[in-house]
Amino acid sequence: DAGITQSPRHKVTETGTPVTLRCHQTENHRYMYWYRQDPGHGLRLIHYSYGVKDTDKGEVSDGYSVSRSKTEDFLLTLESATSSQTSVYFCAISVTSGGNNNEQFFGPGTRLTVL
Amino acid sequence: AQSVTQLDSQVPVFEEAPVELRCNYSSSVSVYLFWYVQYPNQGLQLLLKYLSGSTLVKGINGFEAEFNKSQTSFHLRKPSVHISDTAEYFCAVTATQAGTALIFGKGTTLSVSS
C-alpha cells in the first residue's frame, strides 16, 4: 500500500464549515495527488504536488486548496464546504522509478458528507 | 492532454463466462495505461499496466489486457470470471513524463452472478 494513510476516514460536516483532509506517506515520494470519486464520474484530479511547496490545480480544483509543507504530508482544504463536495476523497502517490513509471498507489480514502 | 472512454458502464455476466471490458484512450503523446479494480467499499488496487514492449500484458487474478496503438484501445479480458470478480473497474492513462497524473475513465461495473 506504499505506506499511505488518510485522516479522517469518515467525516460529516455542515455546509459552510472548513474541512481539512490529511494524506501522509512514509516512503518519501515526490509526487502526490488528491482525487475525488463520484458515481458515474470515476476519479477526477483535484490538485497535485511535485514537491514541497510545489502544487498545481487539477480538473476539479474550484473550492479546494492544498498545502505541502513537508514531503510526507499533503493537505486538502475545503474552505467552505458545500453539498456538492460530498464525495469520497483519495490521496495517491506516484512511483516514478524502479520500473513502476507513473504507477500510482492509493490511500484508503476519506468519505466526506456535507449536510 | 489525455482522455479515457470506458464504453460500457455496466457488464453483467454469469460465472465462468468470458468477459471483456472495453477502454479507448486519446492522447497526442506517448502514454502508459493501467487498469485498476475497486471492490465494494474498498480502495483502488492495480490490476495490470502497460508501459512498453509486449502489447499483451498479464495482471493479477487471471486478467489480461492488450494494448492496440492503432485503435487506441486497451481492453481488459478474463476467460472465466468468478463471483469474486464483481467490482468496479477503471481504465486510466498517463503521459510518460514523470509525475504526470492519471486520467481515469468513468468506470465499468462488472456484476458476476451464478
Q: What is the pLDDT of residues B71-97, one digit of tens each?
A: 999 999 999 999 999 999 999 999 988
Mean pLDDT value of segment B99-108:
94
| Phi, psi (deg, nearest 5) at residue B84 | -70, -10
Whether B106 sits inside 8 A of A109 (CB atoms) is no
Give me the mean pLDDT over the A52-75 stretch: 96
Q: How many CB pairs under 8 A join A and B?
A: 57
B90 touches B104 (CB < 8 A)? yes
Query: Strand B108-113 and strand B10-14: pairing?
Result: parallel
The SS3 of residue B111 is strand
Mean pLDDT of the A17-36 span: 95
Average pLDDT of chain B is: 94
pLDDT at A65: 97
Q: Three-state SS for B92?
A: strand
Q: Nearest C-alpha of chain A: how many angstroms from B14?
A: 24
Contact A42 B99 (CB under 8 A): no
Quote the cell numbers at residue B47: 490490476
The alpha carbon of residue A100 is apart from the nearest alpha carbon of chain B, in Å, by 9
Q: State phi, psi for A12 to the nearest 5 degrees.
A: -120, 130
- Residue B1 has a pLDDT of 83
Cα(B111)–Cα(B114) distance, rounded to whole angstroms?
10
Q: Report helix, strand or coil for B85.
A: helix
